[in-house]
Structure 1
Amino acid sequence: MTLSTVDEDGIPDARILIVKKITDNHWYFATSAESKKGMQLKKAISLDFLERSDDARAVAILAKQSKVLPQLKEVELALEKAKEQIQLQPELISPDWRLYAVLANEVEFWQADPKRKHTRVKYYCKRNQWEHCLLWP
């Protein structure tokens, strides 16, 4: 999914995210509260964190997303320490982790075509039921 937010100056900021789960018309994604998008969103749900694999949790506990990495070997050393932490504290949740839900009433999926004859499908919620239609390229 594409998430667009605005920074402190009101300048739009968009990025592609992984949709974690869809329930009814809520689309969930997760991120670090210390990331750019996390600071722009400022809401938290952390139950999602414990459902992640130990590897994914370890990476999140590092809290270094998008920061400069001086040497690649530092990642492995830091991940080993974070995994040890998780083994000692299985309920450990990164204080920076957040799960967000987007309430969607309309969603469009499209598949690109080199000749620009894109396949586009629009889903929309009408009377609490999801319906869909094709759109012209």
Structure 2
Amino acid sequence: MTHSHDSSAKDLTNGDFTEVAEPFDLFAKWLADAEPKEINDPNAVALATVDPDGLPNVRMVLLKGFDERGFVFYTNLESAKGRELMSARKAALCFHWKSLRRQVRVRGLVDLVSDQEADEYYQSRARGSRIGAWASKQSRPLESRFALEKEVARYTAKFGLGEIPRPENWTGLRITPLEIEFWHDRPFRLHDRVRFTRASGEAAWDKTRLYP
């Protein structure tokens, strides 16, 4: 996963993270801290959406990149989350690194990544995962495991040893944050919380320290 920040440029340790002026370098540092500590998927994040009836929905996804433009993950646009994201164009994320006793919450606006970004990431995936993107009608009823394996076999034969193009309905989504909140555990439930907010993706950040 790539990002554009040099987290070594600042000392963003537990004791002084509430003093930082913008959130992206701090997020980069916290994610880097999580990589050696979290055994499985330090880039795992809960993604919250809302369906057309206004009922919330949440599931885990993997963050695949971030920079000042936002947080990127990939999915099938015909899945439940894909349809909800494209309908509401708003979403929330929650990172929780239990071993570090840290949490980051994000809320913002949703947009598609460029075709070039999606193509580059898709081609970086394992061949079996690229086949799987064609074989899975994500979120739709599946009659049996055999039916899925049959589709995998069909597309494996179709593409043979050649190039596997990216399906049109499989791409990346970027959440441009309008709010990012950092939380760190402290004794006696007197936690540190700092919230950054802005009016748009181009606006400057405002910072507020919150009661725990």
User: Which TM-score applies when normalising by structure 2?
Assistant: 0.47
| TM-fit CA distance, 1:71 | 2.5
Q: Map residues 36-115 of structure 1 onto 2, 5 A cutoff.
A: 36-42=80-86, 44=112, 45=115, 46-47=118-119, 48-87=121-160, 90-104=163-177, 107=180
Letter in 1 for 2:144: Q
Cα contact 1:62–1:82 (8 A) shared by 2: yes
Provide the residue aligned with 1:34 in structure 2: 78
Q: How many residues align?
A: 135
User: Which TM-score applies when normalising by structure 1?
Assistant: 0.67
Q: Map residues 12-27 of structure 1 onto 2, 5 A cutoff.
A: 12-24=56-68, 26-27=70-71
Query: Which residues of structure 1 form unaligned runs of 5+?
Result: 126-134
Cα contact 2:80–2:139 (8 A) shared by 1: no
Q: What secondary structure does 2:158 align onto?
A: helix
Query: Which residues of structure 2 form unaligned runs of 5+?
Result: 1-44, 87-110, 198-209
What is the rounded CA distance, in whole Å, between the counterparts of 2:193 and 2:69 in structure 1? 16
| CA RMSD in angstroms, aligned pairs only | 3.8
| Percent of residue pairs bearing the same amino acid type | 26
| TM-fit CA distance, 1:100 | 0.7
